[in-house]
Homo-oligomer: A and B are copies of this chain.
Amino acid sequence: MTPEPVELAKAYRLINHGPTVLVSSAHGGRRNVMAAAWNMALDFTPAKVCVVIDKTTFSRGLIEASGEFVLNVPARAQAAQVLAMGRVSGRDGDKFDALDLPTLPAAKVAAPLLAGCLGWLECRVIPEPHNQQAYDLFIGEVIAAWADPRAFTKGHWRAEAPPSLHYIAGGAFFATGEAFEVAG
């Protein structure tokens, strides 16, 4: 599978349905990945996103130091990996190695793309120190976006896309369900 570029103005559609994402980051030879249910699109163009990154996480330091992150949209098949990521800290060793997570290189940021995901949004932090300090809230501009063309192509989710993940709490998820249209 070769990721297909997603037009930046359509990148919001990778997360508009509210999936839990994985945030990957890298700085100074270290890298990490963590799950984040608290994410949303913020603008169409320039494309922007919000994500909450707690101060206690190892990822927080990598993101603040590099000014970059990637939102990876995992498939339902990756649910056990997503939970496993929360049971170890990147401080104790490379989480990709420990959990045997294959990666792909990003185009514009140092953070890796996690293989097997449905879509990827490469982001540059728009510094907002008050939001970051008071709310752990990070705003990013999407500077490149990609999708597995078997799931999302030419700006649209395919009807036969594998489900993504919607975290509830305590190891419980919803899968993305049926796609449908309402006449306009």
Contacts and interface: CB of A to CB of B under 8 A. Distances in A.
A154 interface: no
Contact of A184 (B83, B130, B131, B180): B83
Nearest to A81: B182
When all copies of this chain in the complex are counted, the total is: 2
Interface in A18-62: 18-20, 37-43, 48, 50, 52
Interface residues of A, number: 48
Nearest to A155: B169
A39 B83 CA distance: 23
Contacts of A182: 79-80, 82-83, 171, 173
B37 A18 contact: yes
A163 interface: yes
A16 interface: yes
A110 to B, nearest CB: 26
A97 interface: no
A77 to B, nearest CB: 11
A31 to B, nearest CB: 24
A176 interface: yes
A177 B174 CA distance: 6
Interface of A: 13, 16-20, 37-43, 48, 50, 52, 79-80, 82-83, 87, 128, 130-131, 135, 137, 139, 157, 163, 166-184
20 contacts: A16-B167, A17-B166, A17-B174, A18-B37, A38-B41, A79-B182, A80-B182, A82-B182, A83-B184, A87-B184, A171-B181, A171-B183, A172-B179, A172-B181, A173-B182, A174-B176, A174-B177, A175-B177, A175-B178, A177-B177
